[in-house]
Amino acid sequence: MYAENPRGFFITFEGLDGSGKSTQLRKLAERLEADNLPITVTRQPGGTRTGDRIRALLLDSRTENLAPKTELGLMFSDRAQAIAEVIEPALAGGRVVLCDRFTDSTEAYQGGGRELGSELVLRLHAAICGELQPDLTILLLPDFERSLARARRRNQRTASESADENRFEREAEPFYRRVWNAYRQIAAREPLRVVAIEGDAGIEEVHRRIVDVVRERLADHDTRSPRSSHA
Ligand code: TMP
């Protein structure tokens, strides 16, 4: 729990490119809105004006020769801005924050994929994000090959555009294997925070499972620290 803010609730979505996490986040947001919960939806990198500029630099495949530590620093620069501008104010206002990717992505992609290691990522998290941790992380782990194939199809569809978001999706399979393994290690290390949904159960079934776990955790949270308003 985010000690300084007992009221808000912070949910992150994680997974490989092509895992379907953005679709699931959108569907959960619609459901919670229908339940009249105050929600804030954001993503990383991006989600602020500064963050969108950092995102463009990070994801555009014309950005060449980015050193792994430059990439790492930019991910945390984006995150620092998002925390200050969006996440902390929303949590302080008692809102449910849904964030598409957070530090687990950095641990999986830069720590695992780029082989910078978890320790460096976690030390930077402590320095920059302090005690802030998601209350709940939904990790989508559908079949590895299918995720990769989906990400590559998306890549081909946008390859002709001058500015694209394909820099990561062009990575070779071993990179994604390392990302995948890092995600599994995070899930094994933090089984309470991270709920891993494995396999290809279909969009509606996965959505149902996510709604169940979110409702359960929110009820638990409300019992411990009643929300002052459901504005
Ligand atoms: P997405 O918005 O489609 O999920 O794409 C964001 C890309 O950025 C994705 O390939 C994962 C990558 N990424 C990192 O490598 N490290 C990070 O910390 C974050 C937030 C994203």
The per-residue pLDDT for range 138-165, each reduced to its tens digit, is 999 998 888 888 877 877 666 555 668 8
**Does residue 42 fall inside a structural domain?**
yes
pTM of the entire structure?
0.93
Residue 117 carries which side chain, given as an amino acid letter?
A: G
Does ligand 1 lie within 6 Å of residue 109's CB atom?
yes
CATH number for 171: 3.40.50.300
For every residue of 186-213, which 3-state class applies, written as one string? HHHHCCCCEEEEECCCCHHHHHHHHHHH
Domain span at residue 54? Answer: 9-224
Q: Is residue 213 part of a domain?
A: yes
Ligand 1 near 45 CB (within 6 A): yes
Predicted confidence (pLDDT) at residue 5 exceeds the cutoff of 70:
no
Q: How far is the CA of 44 from the centre of ligand 1 (A)?
A: 7
For ligand 1, the distance from its centroid to the CA atom of residue 210, given in whole angstroms, is 21
**3 lies in some domain:** no
| Residues β-bridged to residue 100 | 13, 43
| Percentage above 90 pLDDT, the chain | 76
Q: In the structure encoding, which two tokens stand for residue 151, read together?
A: 């990400």
Per-residue pLDDT, averaged over 118-122, amounts to: 98
Q: Which of 107, 109, 147, 183 to mutate to test the pocket of ligand 1 (most atoms within 8 A of CB)?
A: 109
2 part of a folded domain:
no
What's the pLDDT score for residue 230?
Answer: 40
Task: Tell me, yes or no, whether 148 lies in a domain.
Answer: yes
- Residue whose Cα lies nearest atom 21 of ligand 1: it is 105
Tell whether the model's pLDDT for residue 95 goes beyond 60: yes
Lowest model confidence (mean pLDDT) among 167-171, 184-188, 200-204, 217-221: 167-171
Check if the beta carbon of residue 135 is closer than 8 Å to that of residue 221.
yes
Task: Give 141's Cβ-side CA count (13 Å radius).
Answer: 19
Asked, for residue 230, whether it belongs to a domain, the answer is: no
Cβ neighbours around 93 below 10 Å, total? 16
State if residue 168 touches ligand 1 by the CB under 6 angstroms criterion: yes
Residue (of 3, 9, 8) closest to 137 by Cα position: 9
Question: How many structural domains does the chain have?
Answer: 1
pLDDT tens digits, residue range 41-66? 999 999 999 999 999 999 998 999 99
CB atoms within 10 A of CB 182: 24
- Beta strand 194-198 with 96-100 is unpaired
Alpha-carbon span 192 to 165, nearest angstrom:
33
* pLDDT tens, residue by residue, 76-87: 999 999 999 999
Q: What is the CA(154)–ligand 1 centre distance, in A?
A: 15
> Which of 66, 103, 105, 124 for a ligand 1 pocket mutation test, highest count of atoms within 8 Å of Cβ?
105
Residue type at 193?
Answer: R
